[in-house]
Each structure stands twice: as structure tokens, then as C-alpha cells.
Structure 1
Amino acid sequence: MNATLSTMASGLLAATEGEATSNPIIPEWNEVIWGSAAFLILLIVMWKLALPPIRRAMEARTERIQGDLDAAASAKTEAEELRASYDSRLAEANAEAGRIIEEARADAEAVRQERLAAIEPEIAERRAQAEADIEAARARAMAEVRADITSIAVGAAEQVVRASIDETAHAQLIDDYIARVGN
């Protein structure tokens, strides 16, 4: 290690004394000057020639994006207006449907009332006919009952007249009459 230090020290001493040994890390001054000049020339060329088209492209892109954003906002507004229009039309259609349904119900009720009114005289006529039939049947039944009672009474009177009246015969006659009426 001492040997390497001494060789390095002798190399530094020789470099300071004017010997021309080049260092690979530190460039020469003339390379630094030419590199800086080339960089400045390229920077000026890029600034003058390349920067304006890049700026224009960036501005065009910004304008296009802004235009797209504006178009999207206007499309959104238009869509909301269209939706509001559809919603109002739908509400109107629902109201119209309700009105039509209500009219149909009213018409159906009117037709029902008309039919009931048309049938009412027939129902009243049939009711009157049924009541007349019932009254006639009642009258016939009463006439038949009267006829039966009269015939039974006449029969009982015939038997009373034919038979001699004594108390056992009279009781027997009444029992026979009651038995016939019961049947």
C-alpha cells in the first residue's frame, strides 16, 4: 500500500511539473469551450426553430381539449334539457292516460246505468207477473181449501142427517170429521 501511495504521489508531482498526462474524468479546456459553444448553438436553433411548432402544437392540443370539454358540457346540458322534455312528455302522457281511463270508467258506468234503466221495466213487469201468479195460486189454493171444507162440511151434515143423533154417534161423527180434515 505504501508503494501505491508513492506512485500516486509521484504521478501528481509529475502532473504539476508540466508533464502531459491526461485525466479521463476531467475534460480538456478546449473540449469544454467547444462543447459549450455547440450546446449554445443547438439551444438557440431549438429555441428559434423547434420551440414555436412545439408551442403551437401544445396550444392546438389545449384548444382541442378545451373544445372537447365545451362540447361535452353543451352535450350534457342538451341531454339534461332533452331528459326534462321527455320527463314532461311522460308526465303529460300519464295524465292523458289517467284522463282516458277515467273517461272509460265514466262511460262504462253510464252504459251500466242505461242498461239497468232499460232492464228495469222488464224486471218490474216480471216482478208484477210473479206477484200476480202468486196471488192467483193463493186464490186457487184458498178456493180449493174452501171447496174441500165445504164438501167435508156437506158430507158431515149428510151423515148427521142420515144417522140418528145420539151422543155416542155424535162423538163418533166429530172424530171421523176431524180425522178426514187432518188427512
Structure 2
Amino acid sequence: MAGLIDLNVWQIVFNITNTIILFIALRHFLFKPVKSFMDERTRAIQESVEAAEEKNKEADRLSEEYRKKLEISHEEGREIVRNSTKNAERKSEEILSETKEEIARMKSKAHKDIELEKESASKSLKGEVASIAVMAAGKIIKKTIDENTNRNLIDEVINEIGDERWSS
């Protein structure tokens, strides 16, 4: 065969052997380290993804926990406002009650003071009427009666008339 293609069996065997040796050398020195590197890189990425997912779960848990605490804080704030309002209303009622009691005491004292003033004015008026009566009686009788006797007679007349006429 002397044609265009000259086939040499030993050359084909040599090329196949070289290819197999090259493949084994590349597999040992290149493919295994690259595969090992790729496996390690895949494992590291997988661990990073798992760690990120775990951190997301933890963040969600903390977020939910903080949300619940915030709700509790808001409820406590509303409770404080309600209690403060109740306390203010109670204090207002106490102050109003104390004020009413004070007004009642002042009215009672004023009524007592008025009664005392009436009695005092009535006694004073009785004394003045008695003095005028003594003077009038002294002029009418034209005789001098001692002051004590006159006073006793007038007091007796006034008592007979009664205190009811003087108080009205």
C-alpha cells in the first residue's frame, strides 16, 4: 500500500500507548488534585450555605422574639396608661370628696357662727331694751330705784314675755 495513507501498526500501538500513559499521568497529577480541589470547594460552599441558612433561622427566631417583646412592651405601656388614668380619676374623686366635705364643714361652722352672733345680738338687744325700760320707768315713776332692783324687775318681765319673741 503505497497510497496516501501509510499505516504503520507499530506507530498506532505506540500512539495508543502514549495516549494511555498520558491519560494515567494526567489523571494522577491533574484530574485527582483538581477533583479534590473541586470537592473541597463544593463542600465549603455547601457548609457556607448551611451556615447562612442557620443564621437566617436564628435571625428569624430573634426577630420573632423581639416582636413578641415589643408587643408585650406596648401592652405594658397601655396598661400603665390605663392605671395612670384610673389613679388620676380616683385622685380627682378623692379631691372632689374632700372639697365637698370641707365646704360642708365651712357651711356648718358658718351656721354655728351665725347662731352665736344671733344669740349675742339678742342678749345685747335685751340689755339695751332693759336699760331703756329702766330709764323710761325711772322717769315715769319719778323715783329712784337702785340699779340692781331695776335690772331684776326688767329681766323678770323679759323672761315672762319669753325668749321666742326676741329670737324672731
Give every structure 1 segment of 4 or more consecutive aligned residues whose post-TM-superposition deviation is greater than 6 Å: 140-144
CA distance in 2, matches of 1:83, 1:40: 62
Residue 142 (structure 2) pairs with residue 116 (structure 1): no
Out of 63, 66, 74, the residue aligned to residue 72 of structure 1 is 66
Q: For 1:132, which of 126, 134, 143 is the aligned residue?
A: 126
Counterpart in the other structure of 2:91 = 97
TM-score normalized with structure 1 length: 0.51
Structure number with bigger Rg:
1
- Runs (5+) with no aligned partner, structure 1: 1-29, 148-183
Structure with the bigger RCO (C-alpha within 8 Å, sep 6+) is 2
Q: Using the aligned pairs only, state the percent identity.
A: 9
Equivalences for residues 4-153 of structure 1 within 5 A: 38-47=33-42, 49-136=43-130
The whole-number CA distance in structure 1 between the counterparts of 2:32 and 2:56 is 35
**CA RMSD across the alignment:** 3.2
Q: CA deviation at 1:133?
A: 3.3
Letter in 2 for 1:103: S
**Equivalent position amino acid for 1:84 in 2:** R
CA apart distance, 1:118: 3.2
User: What are structure 2's unaligned runs of at least 5 residues?
Assistant: 1-24, 141-168
CA distance in structure 2 between the aligned counterparts of 1:138 and 1:57, rounded to whole angstroms: 118
1-structure distance, mates of 2:49, 2:131:
118
Q: TM-score, normalised by structure 2?
A: 0.55
Using the alignment, how far apart are the partners of 1:36 and 1:142 within structure 2?
Answer: 153
1:133-175 deviation line (CA, Å, top 9, x unaligned) = 344455667789x79xxxxxxxxxxxxxxxxxxxxxxxxxxxx
